[in-house]
Amino acid sequence: QKEVEQNSGPLSVPEGAIASLNCTYSDRVSQSFFWYRQYSGKSPELIMSIYSNGDKEDGRFTAQLNKASQYVSLLIRDSQPSDSATYLCAVNSQVTGGSYIPTFGRGTSLIVHP
């Protein structure tokens, strides 16, 4: 059973601070990693994808991947109250038959307070 682990939080940070969200995964051969954001009562939406070791930056968001440690993180710089949401880590793992199935973590609830 492939697993994706996240601290459920809540993670509370002041406005303007850096929020750091972490995720570990069990499938050593996974190649594709994603962060989705889910506002309360809404559907998840993709905010970042990363496929290679290292950092990937997009605006205020930076995804970090370390395949040796089986660890993915998301940094949000200059956090805003509008960033308050649940952040879901997803890992695409290959299954029998060759297709890929995204496995999700439980999500980390982020609260950015003014």
| Binding residues vs another protein (CB under 8 A) | 4, 31-32, 34, 36, 42-46, 49, 51, 88, 90, 92-97, 99-107
Burial label for 49, CB within 10 Å (0-12, 13-18, 19+), is middle
Q: Whose Cβ is closer to another protein: residue 19's or residue 50's?
A: 50
Least Cβ distance, residue 92 to another protein (angstroms)? 4
Least Cβ distance, residue 1 to another protein (angstroms)? 10
Structure tokens, 101: 């199935």
Measured CA to CA, the distance from residue 104 to residue 111 in angstroms comes to 20
